[in-house]
Amino acid sequence: MNEALNYNHCPLCGAAGISKVFMVKDHSVSQEQFGIYHCAGCQLRFTHPAPSPSVIGNYYQSENYISHSDTSKGFINRLYRHVRKIAIGGKKKLVEKNTGLTCGSLLDVGSGTGYFAMAMKNSGWQVTALEPDEGARKVAQQQHALELLPAEELFHLPENSFDAITLWHVLEHVHDVKKYMAAFKMLLKESGRLFIAVPNYTSHDAKVYKEHWAAYDVPRHLYHFAPVTMQRLMKEMELKITAIRPMWFDSFYVSLLSSRYKNGRTNWPGALWTALVSNLEAMRDMKKCSSVIYIISK
């Protein structure tokens, strides 16, 4: 797979001070190696070289990519499906608490196979759901009778339309982050809230597993965020982070996958201990959680 994007500066802040951290393997699809680079300015890490928009879709074409295929193959993926049901309920409560609404207009970006979007629709929310992958859209149609729109429809939606905009592990996949952020700002009502969940490479589990950390998920994850990076990005976009919330289950799922990537098989005691320590650190400081939800207002 070719057509790569090469950077000589940070793709987010434009700083020239970038350096390679390590190489990471794509375990899900291509088995290729990709560099993880670090920006000394905004602390962003990014995949380099990165597949261009015209070829990135090839790296999602695998039944191992659960958010698109909805596979139940393997114990970890079955565990993921079970935990997802619990997590969706938590996301629903989070949206309702921070918007002050039990129903309203919601834009879900990167809906995958549509589980969260369908749950919100069934709860009375008026839902617009976007998903770039055609295969995932077909699964959503077959399983939920839910029509997901292509991602490019984002730029054709009316201004000030949504009480809530949600991105559950999506921003790290987007090539032009600032273009998308500008669109979210335009689409959000004045009293609305934007919910962005991203992996956190400053977490304990990321530090333990290093280049084997599953949440790098190269090359599908183009960007790898630290809390300080998100704070800087929101300030530049004239948006405000009003709250930060942890995603407690992610440390366990990611640690189990990371252990398998590192050792060739899952070291259950070691992975569970790493996840537990990661969450204990996050209890003292939520910015250290394996994945962080940023709640954002205008």
Structure tokens of 246?
A: 């942890």
Structure tokens of 290?
A: 């394996």
Handedness of CA 136, 142, 146, 149 (dihedral sign): positive
In this prediction, residue 61 carries a pLDDT of 85
Measure the N-to-C terminal CA separation of the chain; round to a whole number of Å.
40
In this prediction, residue 26 carries a pLDDT of 97
In this prediction, residue 95 carries a pLDDT of 98
> Using one digit for the tens of pLDDT, what is the confidence trace for 153-164?
999 999 999 999
In this prediction, residue 12 carries a pLDDT of 97
- 275, β-bridge pairs: none
In this prediction, residue 51 carries a pLDDT of 97
Q: How confident is the model at residue 2 (pLDDT cuts 50, 70, 90)?
A: low
Burial class (CB in 10 A: 0-12, 13-18, 19+), 179: exposed
> Using one digit for the tens of pLDDT, what is the confidence trace for 50-90?
999 999 999 998 776 645 446 556 666 677 677 888 999 99
pTM of the full structure: 0.95
In this prediction, residue 190 carries a pLDDT of 98
The domain defined by 63-200+227-297 folds into Rossmann fold (3.40.50)
How far apart are the C-alpha atoms of 32 and 24, rounded to whole Å? 8
